[in-house]
Amino acid sequence: MYSSLPPPLFANLWLGNQYRHTGWFGIVFVLTMVAFVLMNIRRAKTGRNLYIRRIAGLNAIDEAIGRATEMGKPVLMVPGLSANLNAIVMQALNIFAHVTRIAAKFSNPILVCCNDAAIFTVAQEVIRDVYQEQGIPESFDPDSVRFISDRQFAFAAGVSGIILREQTAATFFLGEFFAESLIFAETANSIGAIQIASSTQITQTPFFIAACDYVLIGDEFYAASAYLTRQPILVGSLVGQDWSKLLVIVSIMVGIGLNSFQRINTKYDKTWKDGQEVDAPEHTRKASETFTYILLNPQTNANDADIPAIKLRPEDKRPELPLNERVTKTDAEAPK
């Protein structure tokens, strides 16, 4: 099978572990997706009008805040339970900035509950900036952004308590949620709040769907900021993501076709023994002997008995350091 694959692009000594055999494929695939995103950001910046389909949950934001304003009750926002400040939290804060902008216009009180001190600091700045941008910095209440606790269920208890005491009319649960998702959703449901939710943890999505009014599933969460703000960078990035998904779909279809054809129609006369490819009686190909398998599994993983680990070639070995430079302990502990 090796011989039928295209030769490595760079047959040099400095070829790294991740480029051995067909290991370059995964990296090229990722770089292609990166190129799609950057290309479409450039396209969007030239003023092209790129279409995004309707997302029901995001269209309901205005309705939710309007309802809260009518009832004179606050709007609650929770950016998830991320362990640290990451891309998901930043995305959630972008959406909350949009929600706060609308709430500020109607002078509706807001509450943001954070589970991490770093997230709390950034959230406070983001929300303060929104009020300043709207020209009403005096309306910003520093206590509206709260750090509750970094412990999962202490946070859940704290937020549930706030929902019940403040009788929030609209709640936004967007970000990384885990087991506490249903606690939030049911508590808010019990007081009749309108809920818009999304969890990047797929396993929590069914709980949100059962209890919330609108749910953003999967990468609709990442599309949200582009949808709401229509910034060219965000819209372009979203289109680039869609191109990447199309690439994945096409790869899967091509892979299915190729794999099926090879396994049904072609014979193979090699096998593996002691890490070497050796002659074998002609047989129908196993899954591990197809082109797509080898392309996607460049070096055996520790569990795969079908293709043994690619052994070091003589040219892969490197020189050893001189004895006096060699260290396995620090100099202070090395034998004198």
Partner 1 sequence: MSTKPRSEMSLGEKMQSVPKPILYLVLVLLTSLPLFKELNVPNKPNEASEDFYATVMAVPEGSTILIQSDWTGSTRGESGGEFESLMRILMRRKIKFAVYAAGDPQAPQVVKDSISRVNDERKLSGQPGYKQWDDWISLGNLPNAEAANQAIANNVQTAFPGRKAIPSTGGSPQDVFDSPVLKGHTKLSDFPLLVVVTASNTATIAIERYAGKVKMAQMVTGVMGPETLNYYPKQVVGLVVGLKGVYDIETLMEGGINTADPHTIKDDNGKFQGKSVEGFPGELNKGKATRYYPTLHFAFALLIIAVLIGNIGMFLAKKEAGK
Partner 2 sequence: MNFFLDIPPATFWNNPSGSNALMIRLALALLIGIAAIFVLLKAPTNYRRPIVGVVTFLSGAFYVMLYLWPVAISRNKGIDAPRNPVEGVAFWLDDAVPVVANFTSIVTAFLLGLGVYSLLRVHGRKVMRKETDWVFSVVLLSSMVLMVFAGYGDWYSRLDPIKAPALELRENWGPINYLRDVLFEGMLQQMDAAMFSLIAFYILSAAYRAFRVRTIEATILLAAAFIVMFSFMGSVEAAWGHMVNPSGNIDNFSNNFTLTEVAKWIRGSIQKPAIRGIDFGVGIGALAMGLRLWLSLDRTGGKS
Binding site for partner 1 (CB under 8 A): 83-84, 152-153, 176, 178-179, 201-204, 299-304
Q: How far apart are CA 112 and CA 76, in angstroms?
A: 6
Say which residues have a Cβ less than 8 Å from residue 185's Cβ, sequence separation at least 6: 173, 195, 197, 207, 208, 210, 211, 212
Q: Which of residues 271 and 300 has its CB atom nearest to partner 2 in the complex?
A: 300
Instruction: Specify which residues 194 forms β-bridges with.
Output: 170
Q: Which of residues 279 and 315 has its CB atom nearest to partner 2 in the complex?
A: 315
Q: Which of residues 33 and 55 has its CB atom nearest to partner 2 in the complex?
A: 33
Q: Which of residues 120 and 227 has its CB atom nearest to partner 1 in the complex?
A: 120
Q: Which amino acid would we find at residue 278?
A: V
Shortest Å distance, C-beta 318 to partner 1: 17
Shortest Å distance, C-beta 274 to partner 2: 18
Q: Which of residues 39 and 179 has its CB atom nearest to partner 1 in the complex?
A: 179
Shortest Å distance, C-beta 186 to partner 1: 10
Q: Are 211 and 182 in contact (CB under 8 A)?
A: yes
Shortest Å distance, C-beta 308 to partner 1: 13
Q: Are 210 and 232 in contact (CB under 8 A)?
A: no
Residue 301, binding choice from partner 1, partner 2, none, Cβ under 5 to 8 Å by partner class: partner 1
Q: Are 89 and 119 in contact (CB under 8 A)?
A: yes
Residue 166, binding choice from partner 2, partner 1, none, Cβ under 5 to 8 Å by partner class: none
Q: Residue 188 CA to chain centroid, in angstroms?
A: 27
Shortest Å distance, C-beta 219 to partner 1: 16
Residue 229, binding choice from partner 2, partner 1, none, Cβ under 5 to 8 Å by partner class: partner 2
Residue 90, binding choice from partner 2, partner 1, none, Cβ under 5 to 8 Å by partner class: partner 2
Give the residue among 239, 177, 249, 161 at the shortest CA–CA distance from 211. Answer: 177
Give the residue among 293, 298, 283, 297 at the shortest CA–CA distance from 258. Answer: 293
C-alpha triplet 144, 149, 154: angle, nearest 5°: 115
Q: Which of residues 279 and 333 has its CB atom nearest to partner 1 in the complex?
A: 333
What DSSP line would sit under 47-105, residue for residue?
T--------HHHHHHHHHHHHHHHHT--EEEEEE--SSS-HHHHHHHHHHHHHHHHHHH
Q: What are the tokens at 193?
A: 């709040």
Residue 303, binding choice from partner 2, partner 1, none, Cβ under 5 to 8 Å by partner class: partner 1
Q: Which of residues 99 and 156 has its CB atom nearest to partner 1 in the complex?
A: 156
Shortest Å distance, C-beta 84 to partner 2: 7
Q: How far apart are CA 172 and CA 60, in angstroms?
A: 11
Residue 244, binding choice from partner 1, partner 2, none, Cβ under 5 to 8 Å by partner class: partner 2
Shortest Å distance, C-beta 294 to partner 2: 19
Residue 63, binding choice from partner 2, partner 1, none, Cβ under 5 to 8 Å by partner class: none
